[in-house]
C-alpha cells in the first residue's frame, strides 16, 4: 500500500501506471507524418532498442526524438478532499532529422507546417502545445563512402503534467466560543 501524508514515508503519485515514453514518441511521429505526408514507417523514433536497417540513400525519411526536458519553476499544488493534485508544465526540446534527396524540402515543409494552428491541434491529445522551432541545419553524413543528405530541425513543445498524491488536508480544530455568564 502506498504511503500517505498521515502514514509518513516517501509519497508516490497514485492513479496507476505512468504513461509510457512511447506515447510521446507516437504523438511526435504522427505530427511529422501529418504535416509532411511522409509514410509512417519512414518516420522513425530516433532511439530504438533494436536499430532498424537504414533506408537507401535515394529514399526520403525522418528520425525524431525528445532530447531535453525542462520543468517550470514550481508546480501548482491543489488540495482536494482526500488528496493533492500536482500540476507542472515541462518544456521539451525535440529534434527531427530529415534524410534523403528531398530532405531539405521536407524540413522546410515541416517548419512551415508548424506555423499552421490546425496542424498543432493534435498535440493537445498529449496535453502539449508548440512553443517554437529553430533553424534548419544541414549536416551531411558520410556512410559507406557516400554522403547522405541530412537536415536537422529542432522544435519545442510545452506539456502539462498532472499527478495525484495522497497528501491529506489539514483538519481545523473545532472552534469553541465562550460567552460570559
**Could you report the per-residue pLDDT of 121-157, keeping only the tens digit for each?**
999 988 899 999 999 999 988 878 888 899 999 999 9
Q: Could you tell me if residue 15 is inside a domain?
A: no
- Classify residue 97: in a domain, yes or no: yes
* 171 in a structural domain: no
- Residue 92 inside a domain? The answer is yes
Query: Does 68 reside within a domain?
Result: yes
d(CA 121, CA 61): 23
- Contact assessment for residue 122 and residue 31, using Cβ atoms and an 8 Å cutoff: yes
Domain-located, residue 51: no
Is 181 inside a domain boundary? Answer: no
CA distance 92 to 158: 6
Separation of alpha carbons 160 and 140, rounded Å: 36
Cβ(21)–Cβ(173) under 8 Å? no
Q: 26-44, pLDDT tens digit by residue?
A: 999 999 999 999 999 999 9
Report how many domains make up the chain: 1
Asked if 98 and 37 touch (Cβ cutoff 8 Å), the reply is no
Q: Domain containing 146: what range?
A: 21-46+57-165
pLDDT of residue 116: 94
**CATH code of the domain covering residue 115:** 3.30.2000
| Mean local confidence (pLDDT), 7-24 | 76
179 part of a folded domain: no
The strand pairing partners of 44, in sequence order, are 63
pTM of the entire structure?
A: 0.82
The candidate with the shortest Cα–Cα distance to 60, out of 128, 107, 130, 116, is 107
Please tell me the distance from the alpha carbon of residue 180 to that of residue 167, in angstroms, as a whole number.
40
Summarised one tens digit per residue, pLDDT across range 60-110 is: 999 999 988 898 888 898 888 888 888 889 999 999 999 999 999 999 999
Q: Could you tell me the sign of the dihedral formed by the alpha carbons of 140, 141, 146, 148, in that order?
A: negative
Amino acid at each position: 500500500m502506498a504511503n500517505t501524508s498521515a502514514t509518513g514515508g516517501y509519497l508516490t503519485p497514485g492513479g496507476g501506471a505512468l504513461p509510457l515514453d512511447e506515447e510521446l514518441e507516437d504523438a511526435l511521429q504522427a505530427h511529422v507524418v501529418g504535416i509532411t505526408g511522409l509514410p509512417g514507417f519512414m518516420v522513425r523514433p530516433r532511439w530504438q532498442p533494436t536499430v532498424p536497417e537504414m533506408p537507401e540513400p535515394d529514399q526520403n525519411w525522418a528520425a525524431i526524438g525528445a532530447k531535453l526536458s525542462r520543468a517550470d519553476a514550481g508546480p501548482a499544488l491543489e488540495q482536494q478532499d482526500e488528496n493533492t493534485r500536482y500540476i507542472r508544465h515541462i518544456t521539451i526540446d525535440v529534434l527531427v532529422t530529415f534524410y534523403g534527396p528531398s530532405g531539405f524540402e521536407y524540413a522546410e515543409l515541416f517548419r512551415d507546417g508548424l506555423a499552421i494552428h490546425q496542424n498543432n491541434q493534435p498535440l493537445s491529445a498529449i496535453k502539449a502545445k508548440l512553443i517554437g522551432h529553430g533553424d534548419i541545419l544541414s549536416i551531411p553524413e558520410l556512410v559507406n563512402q557516400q554522403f547522405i543528405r541530412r537536415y536537422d530541425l529542432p522544435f519545442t513543445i510545452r506539456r502539462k503534467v498532472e499527478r495525484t498524491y495522497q497528501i491529506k488536508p489539514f483538519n481545523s480544530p473545532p472552534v469553541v466560543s465562550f460567552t460570559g455568564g
